[in-house]
Structure 1
Amino acid sequence: MAKATKKQALGRGLSALLKDPENDIKSAEDKNADKVVGNIVELDLKDIEVNPFQPRTSFNEEALRELASSIRELGVIQPITVRKLSFNKYQLVSGERRFRASKLIGNETIPAYIRIANDQESLEMALVENIQRQDLDPIEIALSYQRLIDEIQLTQEQMSDRVGKNRSTIANYLRLLKLDPIVQTGMRDGFLSMGHGRALINIENTGDQLDIYEKIIADKLSVRQTEALVKNYHATSETQLPKKQDTPEFIQKGNKEFADYFGAKVDIKVSKNGRGKITIPFSSEEDFNRLQKLIKGAK
């Protein structure tokens, strides 16, 4: 108990150091930086802003209240991580649930690790740390991987080193973003597991994919039952269903190029007179902005 008290007192002492204008630490080389950077410091909640790069977009209110109750009884066991923006101003890198829960119960301070990083480093830290959380849904993880590719320009091999996951695991998550947005929403809401999603990826026809998705929900099918249903779908399609009208070769080639470029299944419909329509699905505002950047970059 005495050790804990000493640790908290140290944190308060460092907090006072940070509030001294003569000790405004801006880089790791500044005076007293070694006393602050990487150490646990008690920071005022009002001096911390949320991270705009946070990949998590929703927070379970009931779970947040449970965490707040735990913090009220035991305190914040695991400090949050922040980066220093300017004098006495900080931005969250990780720990937004602990930050929100502490504010919920009226706490004024929170223990924090301080880091000094630029925007790109902060984005990468936030994404990597959040990917390693246990409570992210598969689509949130997939979107975080995609952001590391789009905004940090990491390859799958580099991501494998950063997050400690096999390259094949990363590829499997990224493939989930090719699912119909309705199916992705079902996964985010917990109606489907990643196993269900991986089975449904093998259904290329959007309408059929959604039909099977609805059957999974209605009949509460397991992953194995879903895999068997998809296998039967392919067997039936090959032997019993009439072949659809041949798609022009230029459409087939263009469809694959569109899908590779946008990282999503693009629907192309063409009439007999050669006129057609291209539909690009997106799963969230973040995904929409990603597509918009790709389109602008192609000009």
Structure 2
Amino acid sequence: MILAEICLAKAHVMGSLTRSRRLQQLICTQTRNKSRNATAANVKVLTADDFSVLLGDEQRQRCLDLLRKLPPFSRPKMLLHNRNEKSSASVLIALCQERETNEISLLYTRRSRHLRSHSLQISFPGGKRDETDESYVDCALRETEEEIGLPRERIQIWGEASPIILPRTAAIVPVVGVVPDFHVSELKLNLDEVEEAFSIPINTLISPAVARHTQFRSGYSNPVFVVDELRIWGVTGYLTYFFLRCLLSNAMPQTLKTNIKYIRPYKLPPKLPHHHVEARE
């Protein structure tokens, strides 16, 4: 009897901790989102009229056409292949119409700290395609609903891009969609997969203040977006950069025009000569 009561008490405590963790996660995410919207208010590159044009049929088709014509990634010779490159995956690039500000934002997640690979890194919702997925669109919608609880009925699909082949990761098919009247409070996170979810206004992403890059020793460099304490880099930074270039093709901001070249020779600093000191008796 005593053992049963102890187990029941433990279960109650764990349930309370889980609820508390979820509430804390949601409050944290909402606070982050409001902070980024406030930051974006000082960087009014795109106006309300621009947003309506971006979501129009003409711009939608132009964006998808450009996404399907992206040049292949030039793989550095010294970068070896691995088994991850034999699989395929799909991600959702969601254009969110923010309920409070009416701005357009991109939706991101931070991977759970409990995952074996890329834990706590920022990514788009998505994952590897299963045999049961009818298409890459179906894969992106399924993964999004599983990870952050956003129903597929809430997403107006534009279409999918051509597969993007990058080193050391699965071939990725970006799926683009619009989420009207969006607010982060409607998300229900699967904390086994996602630490948090948040949206970042496009006006913030194209600000010169957030533009960075990472230089890799294998011979290529990659765009990075640093927003507050968030660092969007790697595959997600690469996808963000090229998607914004395609979406804003008619009004390309300077930060996207003059970004880094993707293949750069990486030069190691010269080795210093060794000085041998003779032992003295």
Shorter-chain TM-score tier: under 0.3
Q: If the length of structure 1 is used for normalisation, what is the TM-score? A: 0.22
Mark the structure with the bigger radius of gyration.
1
Using CA pairs under 8 Å that are at least 6 residues apart, name the structure with larger relative contact order, 1 or 2. Answer: 2
Q: If the length of structure 2 is used for normalisation, what is the TM-score? A: 0.23
Structure with greater strand percent? 2
